[in-house]
Amino acid sequence: MSKPIIATASLAGCFGCHMSLLDIDERILKLIELVEFNKSPIDDIKTFTKECDIGLIEGGCCNTENIEVLKDFRKNCKILISVGECAIMGGLPAMRNGIPVKECLDEAYLDGLTVGENKEKIMPNDEELPIITDKVYPLHEIVKVDYYLPGCPPKADLLWEAVVALVTGKELDIPYELVKFD
Amino acid sequence: MSDTIKFTIDGKECTGKKGQLLVDVAAENGVYIPVLCHWKGVKPAGSCRICTVKVNNRYVTACTLPIDENCGDIENNTPELQDIRKAIVEMLFVEGNHFCPACEKSGDCDLQGLGYKYQMMVPRFPYAFERRELDAKSPKIFLEKNRCIFCKRCIRMIKDEKGRSYFAFKGRGKTLEISMDEKLAANISDELAQEAMDICPVGAILKKEVGFVNPIGKRKYDNEPIGSDIEKSQQ
């Protein structure tokens, strides 16, 4: 039987959840025995080359590119998991929610105390750049999400237990200490 | 001892004095009923509804119910009530802006503790992302209105020697928010500022110039669920 395939992505996140996945230490060798990785920053595969069983997504959606990647994951993954606070509730990027986008951009590029020389008052507007959304969205407000792993980041043991439970079909019994929102 | 009342909670025998509040009697008998707005000895507000129990098949808030002979068998930890409580926690999470990773109260927060207890993975309701202000005018206190859950503990408990409240509600309905009396708060004592932070069930009231006192792993709800102290007290 072929191994289950995992894909991962970081949207509006800090890559901390991916770091936490690497925090499983030597168990990463066991993980490689258990699963195969497809599209993921971990192996640097940029596009889906086959249908995946599990998609782990960190970060919420703050721009059109995030939404596109998320929808691509939903299309290509049988099970989609929101990993971490940003994916579940927007996280720190969502602190801009409620502030008009123009105000945020003005602060970042024109009026902010740390803005250096910008006499021409240039706002990044290259057509290659994704458009910023009106607010940062949790993943499940855009596509159907099957499971949630909270934490900032989710503890390495939680990620490990969850992935192993999924690929081996064992029931997941999470100890109290493992589920935290920070 | 005619004022001693005997009743059961989920089948467990409990005793208390007639007229005592159910939530307090339960705690004395080692039964944890979650609270967010209640504080023992303070006139109950019944505002958060998290202590909802079922008495004689009716939903009642345990913090406003004086016990008497008619209590019978009270339901507390049934799957139905647990789901109601979980829904309340989820509602409070989406109604305010509770960014746990950025909050000083994280780990010591009662709302978060209940989220852990009921294993809230994601709220079932859509996030509101309401924008509220942070009031930092007092030299001793931050008032982070985004995190307030309207329990009224501070309004009811934090008062000066003349009985004037430092905190009050402003507005109604959707615009309701907690506010702080600027003049009073300018001279609040260190002790009272600390008490205000301690009684706040979330991270809405924070004392200035201290923060993240307890490291991760040694905070209130890092290793044991909220209410464990009460449940252990009678074992």
pLDDT band at B42 (very low <50, low <70, confident <90, very high): very high
Confidence (pLDDT) at A2: 87
If one counts the domains in chain B, the total is: 2
Asked whether the predicted pLDDT for residue B1 surpasses 70, the reply is no
In a domain, A109, yes or no: no
The answer to whether residue B216 neighbours chain A at the CB level (below 8 Å) is: yes
**CB contact A17 to B (< 8 Å):** no
Residues of chain A neighbouring B97 (CB-CB closer than 8 A): 95, 97-98
Specify the CATH number for the domain of residue B68: 3.10.20.740
Provide mean pLDDT across the span B32-36. 97
- Partners of A97 in the β-ladder: none
Say what percent of chain B tops pLDDT 70: 99
Of A85, A90, A176, the CB nearest to B127: A90
Region label for A8, one of left (φ > 0), alpha (ψ between -120 and 50) or beta (otherwise): beta
Domain boundary residue among B45, B77, B109?
B77
Same domain, B189 and B115: yes
- In chain B, whose CA is at the least distance from the CA of A99? B131
Mean pLDDT of B187-204: 96
Q: What's B54-84 look like in SS3?
A: EECCEEEECCCCECCHHHCEEECCCHHHHHH
Same domain, B90 and B129: yes
Is there a single domain that holds both residue B42 and residue B138? Answer: no
**Residues forming beta bridges with residue A57, ordered by sequence position:** A9, A82
Residues B98 and B201 in one domain: yes
Cα(B169)–Cα(A119) distance, integer angstroms:
45
Please give the average per-residue pLDDT across A85-94, as a whole number: 96
**B28 in a structural domain:** yes
Whether A181 and B100 lie within 8 Å, measured CB to CB = yes
Confidence band for A175, pLDDT divided at 50, 70 and 90: very high
Boundary (domain end) residue, out of B41, B60, B77? B77
pLDDT given at position A35 = 96
What is the ipTM, given to two decimal places? 0.92
Are residues B182 and B102 both part of a single domain?
A: yes
Same domain, B11 and B61: yes
Does A99 sit within 8 Å of B121, measured CB to CB? no
Q: Domain holding A140: CATH number?
A: 3.40.50.700
User: Is the same domain home to B126 and B22?
Assistant: no
Question: A116 touching B, CB under 8 A?
Answer: no
Q: The domain containing residue A143 runs over which residues?
A: 5-96+135-178
Place of tokens 């669920």: B225
Q: Is the preceding peptide bond at A93 cis, omega within 30 degrees of 0? A: no
Residues A63-72 have a mean pLDDT of 98
- Asked whether residue B91 falls in the same domain as residue B200, the answer is yes
Q: Is B203 on the interface with A (CB under 8 A)?
A: no
Query: Does residue B67 sit in the same domain as residue B122?
Result: no
Q: Answer whether B18's CB lies under 8 Å from B223's CB.
A: no
State which of B52, B77, B102 marks the end of a domain: B77
Residues B68 and B104 in one domain: no
Q: Between B121, B131, B223, which is nearest A148 by CB?
A: B121
Asked if the structure places residue A120 within a domain, the reply is no
Q: Where are the beta strands (DSSP E) in A88-164?
A: 132-137, 147-149
Q: How far is A1 from chain B (nearest CA, A)?
A: 32
B67 and B125 housed in the same domain? no
Query: What is the overall mean pLDDT for chain B?
Result: 95
Q: Are B165 and B155 in contact (CB under 8 A)?
A: yes
Find how far residue B8's CA is from the centre of its chain: 24
Asked if residue A125 is part of any domain, the answer here is: no
Q: CA B64, B70, B76, B80 torsion: positive or negative?
A: negative
Scan residues 62-91 of A and list those with Cβ closer than 8 Å to B. Answer: 82, 85, 88-91
Average pLDDT (A85-97) is 95
Mean pLDDT throughout B104-113?
Answer: 96
Record: contact A152-B101, CB cut-off 8 A: yes
CB A56 within 8 A of CB A22: no
Domain residues for the domain of B73 are: 4-77
Q: What is the rounded CA–CA span in Å between residue A159 and residue A146?
A: 15
3-state secondary structure of A62: strand
B117 Cα to chain A: minimum distance (Å)? 8
For residue B194, being part of any structural domain is answered with yes
